[in-house]
Amino acid sequence: MSQPTIHTFSTSFITESGAEIKEPYLAYQTWGKLNEQRNNVIVVCHALTGNSDAKEWFPGFFDASNPLKLNEYFIICPNHPGSCYGSVGPTSVNPETGKPYQAGFPVFTIRDIVRLEQRLLDELKIEGVELIIGPSMGGMIALEFTIMDDRVKNSVLIAMGKAHSAWAIGISEAQRMALYADENWNGGFYDPEQPPAKGLAAARAMAMITYRSPKNYEQRFRREVNKEKQIFQVESYLNYQGEKLVDRFDANSYDLLTKSMDSHDVSRNRDSFEEVLEAISASVLVIGIDSDRLYPTHEQKELAALIPNAEYKEISSVTGHDAFLIEFEQLNSLLSDFVGKRTKDSQNQLAHETE
């Protein structure tokens, strides 16, 4: 991961729950240059355990096959608050105690995340967002951005829906139960030298089941045995994925960010889903994945149907939810169609205005 820029805000931040973060800051990375109008901006929103280095985890977006002429844009990817990759979160020092927040850090709702990241765009004097794109949790953030910020012209929402479903919340809670059952959890105030590694690894293993599809697991592993470890290959894979996350992620961040996702509901304390989404003026591309068990395609089809200037497209893949990290050829093809239509619409509008 490349070193991000850290932006510290001069005033405190109040979450929807009323918690105050007195010295908030965000880590972010950028590519390209702002134009004079400061409106050639692409915002990339990362998923649950992602970070600000979009070029690392979203490499296909930066590929030459991307229909966007990326050298003409200013791309920015913030690390979401609550994470452990540079932005304010549970590993940050609480200025009131001089110790890390740990479990004392509040849950940031998806809207809280958007509000703090809007402040980042404000302080960078960004006037317009040509495109915002996000998969999974990033798609939830991109959707709320599209609702809450009139700077957004075009939005690409991948593998999520209008609200976190009971199915998805249940999966998140099962993962949190694994964290809480770890003997080192200690209510979230654990010794950093002895974190709840077993619980976090188990939570990640559960997640990896939902990120792929049964067909993908059967193709990759079948009933093959790892002769060295004397366990099934699928067990070895899940153990490895759990250990890998333990090495790079904080358990409190995992706990809090899954709760952030559970807060996702565009109608919460607003009007109905229909009224909220009907008010979106941006052009929107909603992308589903045909083998996604975590966020099935009916959620994306419904979302696209509720947004006036939206279209639904689908990625075909056996890999399940994780296809957004794998099927970049298909993703860029869908982007090409979307960008082409937007360009044609803009040209037609310009011709009409000059008649």
pLDDT digits (tens, 9 = 90+) for 50-99: 999 999 999 999 988 899 999 999 999 999 999 999 999 999 999 999 99
pLDDT value for 352: 46
Q: Which of 112, 292, 317, 322 is catalytic?
A: 292
Q: Residue count of the chain, please give it.
A: 355
pLDDT value for 347: 41
| Residue where a domain terminates, one of 202, 227, 261 | 261
pLDDT value for 139: 98
Contact call for residues 300 and 287 (beta carbons, < 8 A)? yes
This prediction has a pTM of: 0.94
pLDDT exceeds cutoff 70 at 281: yes
Q: Do the strands 99-100 and 20-21 form a parallel or antiparallel pair, or are they unpaired?
A: unpaired
Q: Are residues 274 and 218 in the same domain?
A: no
pLDDT value for 340: 80
Q: Are residues 142 and 192 in the same domain?
A: no
pLDDT value for 102: 97
Q: Are residues 208 and 284 in the same domain?
A: no
pLDDT exceeds cutoff 90 at 262: yes
Q: What's the pLDDT tens digit per position in 32-52? A: 999 999 999 999 999 999 999
Look up residue 41 and give its amino acid: V
Here the CATH number for the domain that contains residue 244 is 1.10.1740.110
Residues forming beta bridges with residue 285, ordered by sequence position:
156, 311
Mean pLDDT of the chain: 94
pLDDT value for 2: 82
Q: Are residues 195 and 319 in the same domain?
A: no
Q: What's the pLDDT tens digit per position in 307-338? A: 999 999 999 999 999 999 999 999 999 999 99
| Residue where a domain terminates, one of 244, 261, 278 | 261
136-159 burial, b for 16+ CB within 10 Å, e for fewer?
bbbbbbbbbbbbebebbbbbbbbb
pLDDT exceeds cutoff 80 at 342: no
Q: Are residues 92 and 186 in the same domain?
A: no
Q: Are residues 110 and 45 in the same domain?
A: yes
Q: Which of 136, 155, 172, 283 is catalytic?
A: 136
Both tokens of 303, joined, read 């979302």
From CA 57, how far away is CA 44, in angstroms rounded? 11
pLDDT value for 64: 87
352 is catalytic: no
Both tokens of 346, joined, read 């803009």
Domains: count for the chain: 2
| Residue where a domain terminates, one of 193, 227, 261 | 261
136 is catalytic: yes
Look up residue 306 and give its amino acid: L
From CA 334, how far away is CA 324, in angstroms rounded? 12
Q: Are residues 247 and 275 in the same domain?
A: no
Q: Which of 53, 262, 321, 322 is catalytic?
A: 321
Top pLDDT among 214 and 349 is at 214
Q: Are residues 227 and 330 in the same domain?
A: no
Here the CATH number for the domain that contains residue 33 is 3.40.50.1820
Domain containing 280 equals: 5-164+267-354
Q: What's the pLDDT tens digit per position in 179-206? A: 999 999 999 999 999 999 999 999 999 9
Q: Are residues 312 and 203 in the same domain?
A: no
Q: Are residues 20 and 134 in the same domain?
A: yes
pLDDT exceeds cutoff 50 at 354: no
Q: What's the pLDDT tens digit per position in 91-128? A: 999 999 999 999 999 999 999 999 999 999 999 999 99
**How many Cβ atoms from other residues are within 10 Å of residue 207's Cβ?**
23
